[in-house]
């Protein structure tokens, strides 16, 4: 009886290791997701801040909507997500929203056309996605 239990335990351990490897490999898509999200967030801010109204808003929102639609389809097609994926994604989006507002509101009120504000702001708004992608790649 001990021989069967030992082989069952070894098989279960091998299966667990195989599944862990599958999740690690299959979860790499989220690095790309976050980096693309961060870059699109930065482009949105640059377009709104540096292009003449209403073209900047139209271009920025167009790029943003196309990117979000593409990322949504990409996310839905993935077969694996790591434990805590939803929590990390929601934290990234929450941080992006706060930073986006913190750059956009003063920028539209006091810094219209000031390239330095919008370039630094775009980099700041891109940080949640870029840092998230970096941290996910290290997992």
Q: How many helices and strands, by DSSP H and E, does the chain display? A: 5, 0
Sign, Cα dihedral of 64, 39, 129, 20? positive
pLDDT over threshold 60, residue 25: yes
**54: Cα within 13 Å, side-chain hemisphere:** 2
> How far apart are the C-alpha atoms of 129 and 132, rounded to whole Å?
5
Over residues 82-101, the mean pLDDT reads: 94
Instruction: Give helix 29-50 / helix 85-110 axis angle, nearest 10°.
Output: 10
pLDDT tier for residue 80 given thresholds of 50, 70 and 90: confident
Per-residue pLDDT at 83: 85
pLDDT over threshold 80, residue 65: yes
pLDDT over threshold 80, residue 113: yes
Report the mean per-residue pLDDT for the chain. 90
> How far apart are the C-alpha atoms of 52 and 56, rounded to whole Å?
6
Residue found by looking up tokens 């109204």 in the block: 53
Higher pLDDT, 33 or 17: 33
Per-residue pLDDT at 61: 96
Q: Give the distance, in angstroms, between the CA of residue 100 and the centroid of all CA atoms in the same chain.
A: 14
Q: Give the distance, in angstroms, between the CA of residue 39 and the centroid of all CA atoms in the same chain.
A: 9
The pTM of this model reads: 0.83
Over residues 118-131, the mean pLDDT reads: 98
pLDDT tier for residue 6 given thresholds of 50, 70 and 90: confident
Question: Residue 118: how many CB atoms within 10 A of its CB?
Answer: 24
Of all residues in the chain, what percent carry a pLDDT higher than 70?
83
């Amino acid at each position: 009886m001990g021989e069967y239990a030992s082989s069952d335990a070894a098989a279960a351990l091998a299966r667990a290791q195989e599944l862990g490897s599958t999740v690690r490999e299959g979860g790499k898509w989220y690095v790309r997701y976050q980096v693309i999200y961060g870059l699109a967030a930065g482009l949105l801010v640059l377009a709104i801040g540096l292009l003449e109204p209403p073209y900047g808003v139209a271009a920025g929102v167009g790029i943003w909507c196309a990117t979000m639609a593409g990322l949504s389809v990409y996310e839905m097609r993935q077969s694996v997500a790591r434990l805590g994926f939803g929590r990390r994604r929601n934290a990234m989006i929450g941080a992006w929203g706060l930073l986006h507002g913190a750059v956009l509101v003063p920028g539209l009120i006091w810094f219209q056309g000031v390239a330095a504000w919008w370039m630094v702001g775009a980099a700041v708004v891109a940080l949640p996605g870029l840092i998230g992608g970096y941290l996910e790649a290290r997992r």
